[in-house]
Amino acid sequence: MRVVIAEDSVLLREGIARVLTEEGFEVAAQVGDADELQRAVKRTKPDVAIVDVRMPPTQTDEGARAAEEIRAQHPDVGVLVLSQIVEARRALKLFSERPEGFGYLLKDRVLQIDEFVESVRRVGRGGTAIDPEVVAQLVGRRAAEGPLDELTPREREVLGLMAEGRSNKAICDKLFLSPKTVETHVNSIFGKLNLPQAPDDHRRVLAVLTFLRA
């Protein structure tokens, strides 16, 4: 799996590159600003672009805007956004437009190397990886009444983990539930959200979009 890393902190950029190289990734390019990122993606055609939200010259949203352009111009490239803070509106915009192959992680909350590596792999395979804190803030913006009101607290918990990009097995491990129980909750969520019959991966994406837009 080929990655491009866009991070203006040389130390952090080199650290990410070393970790991913040791895990078998090919680091196709390392760049320090949004313009270099755009050129690197066009030149190397990576599976994943890891993008810092705030980059030179203004250290505001250059990285986030570059992520939007990459997703528009290179739909086959997964984008994993790294941020210091939760920018819920931007995260929701990026995810809602096309959830496949998208991740949003908070730098200070990446505490396990293996979880970060798995997030990169998941995004590269077309999945999602959303930090739980981002999910929590988006949930906090939920209207008093909406499509999620029919869900039980446990079903909302399961749906929240789905929004982070976790598989049924990972949800089992997190909540200490049996595979059959998790499958029952997932099917109940699909039914209560009135999602049509379709491959489960597609319905998971629709369920998460309903969750984040509510």
Print pLDDT tens along the chain (214 aa).
999 999 999 999 999 999 999 999 999 999 999 999 999 999 999 999 999 988 888 877 888 889 889 988 999 999 999 988 767 667 777 777 777 889 889 888 887 899 899 999 999 998 888 887 777 666 555 444 566 778 888 888 898 888 878 889 999 998 999 999 999 999 888 888 877 666 666 677 777 777 766 6
Residue 163's identity, in one-letter code, is: A
Q: How far apart are the first and last CA of the chain?
A: 34
Within 13 Å and on the Cβ side, how many CA atoms surround 86? 14
Picking from 118, 80, 75, the residue whose alpha carbon sits closest to that of residue 98 is: 75
* Bridge partners, 48 (sequence order): 3, 78
- Side chain identity at residue 153, one-letter code: P
- Residue 10, strand partner residues: none
Fold of 142-213: Arc Repressor Mutant, subunit A (1.10.10)
Highest CATH level, class, for 2-137:
alpha beta
Taking the model in full, what pTM does it have? Answer: 0.69
118 vs 51: CA distance, rounded Å: 16
The amino acid that residue 52 corresponds to is: D
Region class of 102: left (phi > 0), else alpha (psi between -120 and 50), else beta? beta
Residues of the chain with CATH 3.40.50.2300: 2-137
- CATH 1.10.10.10 segments of the chain: 142-213
